[in-house]
Amino acid sequence: MIVPLSVLEFRDRAQAYFGDRVGVVDGDRTFTYREYAERTHRLASALRRLGVGPGDRVSFITYNTHQLLEAYYGVLEAGAVLNPINIRLTPDDIAYILDHSASRVVFYHADFAPLVERIAPSLASRPTFVVLEGALAGPATHEYEALLASGSPDEPPAEVDENAVAELFYTSGTTGRPKGVALTHRALYLHGLQTAQSLGVTDADAILHVVPLFHVNGWGAPHWMTMVGGQHVMLRRFDASTLLSLVERHRISYLLAVPTIFNAVLNSPDLARHDLSSLKCVLIGGAPSSPALIRALEERLGVQAVVGYGLSETSPVLTIAWPRRHLLDVEPPEMRLARQATTGWPVPGVRVRVVAADGTDVRPDGTQLGEIVVRSNVVMDGYYLDPEATAAAMRDGWFHTGDMATIDEQGYITIKDRAKDVIISGGENISSVEIENALAEFPGLLEAAVVPAPDDTWGEVPAAIVVLKPGVSATADDVIAHCRQRLAGFKVPRRVEFRDQLPKGGTGKILKGELREPFWRGHEKRVH
Domain ranges of the chain: 8-183+211-224, 238-419, 422-520
The pLDDT value recorded for residue 245 is 98
C-beta separation of 207 from 252 below 8 A: yes
Return the CATH superfamily for domain 238-419.
ANL, N-terminal domain (3.40.50.12780)
Distance CA 84, CA 216 (A): 10
The Cα–Cα gap between 250 and 262 comes to: 19
Identify the CATH class of 8-183+211-224.
alpha beta
Same fold, 8-183+211-224 and 238-419: yes
251: left (phi over 0), alpha (psi -120 to 50) or beta: left
Per-residue pLDDT of the chain (528 residues; tens, 9 = 90+): 999 999 999 999 999 999 999 999 999 999 999 999 999 999 999 999 999 999 999 999 999 999 999 999 999 999 999 999 999 888 999 999 999 999 999 999 999 999 999 999 999 999 999 999 999 999 999 999 999 999 999 988 878 999 999 999 998 654 568 999 999 999 999 999 999 999 999 999 999 999 999 988 999 999 999 999 999 999 999 999 999 999 999 999 999 998 888 988 998 999 999 999 999 999 998 876 778 889 999 999 999 999 999 999 999 999 999 999 999 999 998 899 899 999 999 999 999 999 998 999 999 999 898 999 999 999 999 999 999 999 999 999 999 999 989 999 999 999 886 666 678 888 887 878 788 888 988 999 988 999 999 998 888 999 999 999 899 999 999 999 999 999 999 999 999 999 999 887 644 568 888 898 899 888 765 554
Confirm if 193 and 220 have CB atoms less than 8 A apart. no
Q: How far apart are CA 90 and CA 96, in angstroms?
A: 10
Count Cβ atoms below 10 Å from residue 400 Cβ, excluding itself.
18
**Residues 104/267, Cβ–Cβ less than 8 Å:** no
CATH architecture of the domain with residue range 422-520: 2-Layer Sandwich (3.30)
CA within 13 Å, CB half, 131: 19
The angle, 0 to 180 degrees and rounded to 10, between the axes of the packed helices 333-340 and 291-301 is 100
State residue 446's pLDDT score. Answer: 85
Per-residue HEC secondary structure of 426-493 comes to: CCEEEEHHHHHHHHCCCCCEEEEEEEEEEECCCEEEEEEEEEECCCCCCCHHHHHHHHHCCCCHHHCC
Per the document, the length of the chain is 528
pLDDT of residue 176: 64
Whole-angstrom Cα distance, residue 188 to residue 316?
A: 9
Helix axes 185-199, 8-18, angle to 10 degrees: 50
**What are the backbone angles phi and psi of residue 96, rounded to the nearest 5°?**
-60, -45
Give CA–CA dist 9/19, Å, rounded: 14
The pTM of this model reads: 0.88
